[in-house]
Structure 1
Amino acid sequence: MRLFRKKTSLPDEEYTLDAVDQTTLADVDDAIEKEESISSKIAHSGFLKKYVKLAQIMFMMIKDFRKGVYNKIPWFTIAAITTALLYVFMPIDLIPDFIPGLGFIDDLTVLTFVTGWIETDLHKYLDWKLKENSPTE
């Protein structure tokens, strides 16, 4: 993925925003295609395990967006989710993931930034999803 340039220190807010700005619909589709691998990596890493449910919601959101089912979401949120998920997927990043105890710190950093930026949109999406799935009276 072209949006991640070589970095010599932990990703920061500016680095992550630059990556979000470069995200395309093709990147969104790429993340959706890699859902199983990304979800598995999150589920089997110590530091990222707390993001398992969040990643599930993020994938639901971007898939509903791509299907045209849910469009009450800013592009920034879709791009930010895609950036975070694809960053986690990257096998070679600043701190290689195979280093015990440290390998996922950069992934955790990007996920933390993105989650903070999109928290309101996640809540709106979940409210919408609950309303859509509730039985009509």
Structure 2
Amino acid sequence: MKEISPEKANKALHDQAEKVTDKDLEKVLAKEQKIEDKFRNNDSISGYLDRAKSMFGLIRDYWSGNYRQVPWKTIAAVAGALLYVLMPLDLIPDFIPVAGFLDDAGVIAACLKLVSDDLVTYEKWKVQQDHGITEKDKERLS
């Protein structure tokens, strides 16, 4: 079975992220369900579904202007990784049983390693937003 090395996954992620534009953010959000279905239906990447949902949330909140405390390179890497999963003909074409999604898993893992701190910061912010915690509340709690 053909596997993807971490170096190839990083290169694929970098190449994809380099090309990301605002239009690609729209595309990622428009194809969210299709991309999530690929995560759900493939054992190689299904374990990343919760992280993918956070990645979509980050892009959605960035796109809407609700969350801008993140560098563009993080947004580009996340969008690039999600777009990579969407591509059927990538380093290992998706039609190859089992192996076809190993490269997707490698690219997602490389992305998560790269953006981990920014994604955790976003997730904390999101919890605060969902629970209505204000800056004043945070000061009082610390």
Output the TM-score relative to the length of structure 2.
Answer: 0.84
Q: Does 1:68 align with 2:61?
A: no
Which of 1 and 2 has greater Rg?
2
Match among 49, 52, 64 for residue 55 of structure 1: 52
Match among 27, 35, 49 for residue 38 of structure 1: 35
* Alpha-carbon displacement from aligned partner over 1:47-106 (angstroms, at most 9, x marks no partner): 100111111111011000000000101101110010000000011122222222211111
Computed over aligned residues only, the root mean square deviation of the Cα atoms, in angstroms, reads 1.6
Structure 1 unaligned blocks of 5 or more: 1-8
Aligned in 2, Cα 1:93/1:27: closer, same or farther, shift over 3 Å?
same
Count of residue correspondences: 129
Output the TM-score relative to the length of structure 1.
Answer: 0.87
What percent of counterpart residues are identical?
36
* Alpha-carbon displacement from aligned partner over 1:8-39 (angstroms, at most 9, x marks no partner): x9434234223212211111111111101000
Tell me which residue corresponds to 2:116: 119
* Alpha-carbon displacement from aligned partner over 1:99-130 (angstroms, at most 9, x marks no partner): 22211111111111111000000110011011
Structure 2 unaligned blocks of 5 or more: 138-142
Look up the SS of the partner of 1:98 in the other structure.
coil
